[in-house]
Structure 1
Amino acid sequence: MRSPLALAALATVAVPGFDARAVRATDSGGDDDTAVVTDAGNTRWVVRAPRTTAAGAALEAELVLLAALAQAVDDEKLPFDVPRTVGTAPLEEGGRAVMYRQLKGRPVALDRLQPGPGTAAALGRAIGALHELPPTLVEEAGLPVYDAATYRQRRQSEVDEAARTGRVPATLLRRWEERLEDIALWKFSPTVVHGDLSADHVLAADGEITGVLSWGEAKVADPADDLAWLLVAAPQDAVDSVMEAYQLRRTELTDPFLADRALLAGELALVRWLLYGVRSGDDEVIADAVSMLDELDEQTRELPETGGTPAVDVD
């Protein structure tokens, strides 16, 4: 891992003449080293450097997408900003670090989300606008593109792999199999999706969504994925405002099972967390995932007729 001082030094390479006055490390939650560097004018900048070759390749694809998204912002197709690269610095091991101005706003506080025309409605409009973008933005960045049938198969493969670990309660596996075998549930129109939306990645200020970060999981896939974090964890009355604003922002949206798939996606996030732990050999992650799966199993047993998903924090 690179130290904050090393990242500040990369900033001076990325932007010649840059005057770094302070630096603090931040946790990107991925395979990058990141830091916030403050300049002489007290403006904050983010420096991001991939740790591995794979992370470097992913960053390059993300940069292509970010350029297209920034243009969409400028064309008023998106109501929030995205990171805009102002400079890059080559890394000794290959690849490059990137630098962009820190976006304004603070992470959305889901537990304090209120119904009505404020942040909840702004979230719905923001996600709806994202899902209206042309899929070519993702295709041209070389990021994954799925049709509905292939995406259902992908989810099925994840559940099958999780089942082979022997760590998922049988009742959850049956619950998921029923939903994955319901073909009507999976007749959706794929859209551009962020793929990793969470409170940490969505910034808000004064009732508006000001920025969205961490686009490395973007793809053309199920729009329900971008709604899962809200339907699982936000207060129900605020969720109603989110969904109403979302549906108003979408054009010709005909997807009666959107919320059902979003709730399912929230549950399957625990599957991916378990698989991450198994693949990386991280016993702590495995134990955490198993604990949350057991909790979900207990709660869904108590609500067999609702089809809903209780709130389980996967962050």
Structure 2
Amino acid sequence: MTDAGTYLGQGWDSTATLVDERWVERRPKRAEVEVYLRRELTVMPWLAPLLPLPVPVLRLVSADPFVVRHELVPGGELETLNAVQGKQLGEFLLALHAVAVADAVAHGVGPAPVPLDRFRAEVLPLVPDQAGLLDAVAAAPLDTLVHGDLGPEHVLGRDGVLTGVIDFGDVHVGDAAIDLAWALHSTPPEFADALAATYGVTAELRERSLLWHRIGPWYEVLFGNDNGDPEMAESGLTGIRNRSSWF
């Protein structure tokens, strides 16, 4: 018998429930999110065998209401980060970024344009000294298959090693530096240094990764605006101001 499931939590786009202690079921929170989950249904069975860590491979459970599931990826959110894990993530990103873009496109993956017009209209008037950041992001190369939302909530581990990477809803053809933003700029030096050495991070790539790290809170402002959540929008503005001092 299938149990009713245990609520695992929710992100910006979907909710997750653990069923039978094995399956993670995901449901979109908004109609447009279904498009991203359908893309994962196509992409992940092809992509998973190319990667050195476990990732979710989605299966369709129901078309109406739309529900997908994947086997539970082991591990949990990391409480500490070490050099071994940094090396593992560097190896993971090397494999992901080496995937041929033409193959990704053939599986339905395309670019994910940065909402620069909205940033300029809704956010820049509140932080007018940040115009140069938007210009720099607009010039970034878009030539690599990327996870697109790599952060501590999507990198899992146990007993001091990584056990998987989850949530490929933002997978797209973009700038490789976006996947290095959190890993190089919000992690302990031993983790970041091991990742950089394994991946072969250049000075130019590190500089671009900082641009993407700084742009992250801009999305938080837009999400707060879209959902009538002024506290989230204000949190995003605080993040923009804090991260601007790193440049």
1:90-239 map, 5 Å? 90-92=63-65, 96-109=66-79, 112-115=80-83, 118-145=84-111, 154=114, 157=117, 159-164=119-124, 166-168=125-127, 170-174=128-132, 176=133, 179=136, 186=140, 188=141, 190-239=143-192
Counterpart of 1:288 in 2: which secondary structure? Answer: helix
Residue 289, structure 1, aligned to residue 247, structure 2 = no
1:274-297 deviation digits (Å, cap 9, x = unpaired) = 122223332121121122233334
Counterpart of 2:9 in structure 1 is 27
Structure 2's unaligned 5+ residue stretches are none
Q: Output the CA distance in 1 between the equivalents of 2:61 and 2:102.
A: 25
Q: Output the CA distance in 1 between the equivalents of 2:105 and 2:34.
A: 19
Counterpart of 1:10 in structure 2 is none
Counterpart of 1:313 in structure 2 is none
Change over 3 Å in CA distance of 1:180–1:56 after alignment to 2: closer
Letter in 2 for 1:173: A
Change over 3 Å in CA distance of 1:20–1:191 after alignment to 2: same
Q: Output the CA distance in 2 between the equivalents of 1:178 and 1:56.
A: 31
Counterpart of 1:82 in structure 2 is 55
Structure 1's unaligned 5+ residue stretches are 1-18, 248-252, 301-307, 310-315
Counterpart of 1:275 in structure 2 is 222
The offset of 1:256, in angstroms, is 4.4
The offset of 1:173, in angstroms, is 3.3
205-214 or 220-229, larger mean C-alpha shift? 205-214
Change over 3 Å in CA distance of 1:178–1:86 after alignment to 2: closer
Identity of aligned residues (%): 26
Q: Output the CA distance in 2 between the equivalents of 1:54 and 1:160.
A: 23
**How does the TM-score come out when normalised to structure 1?**
0.70
Q: Output the CA distance in 2 between the equivalents of 1:57 and 1:189.
A: 21
Letter in 2 for 1:28: Q
1:29-65 deviation digits (Å, cap 9, x = unpaired) = 0332320122xxxx42111122433122221111101
**How does the TM-score come out when normalised to structure 2?**
0.87
The offset of 1:246, in angstroms, is 1.1
Counterpart of 1:265 in structure 2 is 212
8 A Cα contact 2:123 2:221, kept in partner: no
1:129-152 deviation digits (Å, cap 9, x = unpaired) = 110111134313333237xxxx6x
Whichever of the two has the greater Rg, that structure is 1
Change over 3 Å in CA distance of 1:85–1:156 after alignment to 2: closer
Q: Output the CA distance in 2 between the equivalents of 1:105 and 1:155.
A: 33
1:182-217 deviation digits (Å, cap 9, x = unpaired) = x6xx4x572100001111111123454322111111
The offset of 1:119, in angstroms, is 0.9
8 A Cα contact 1:162 1:271, kept in partner: no
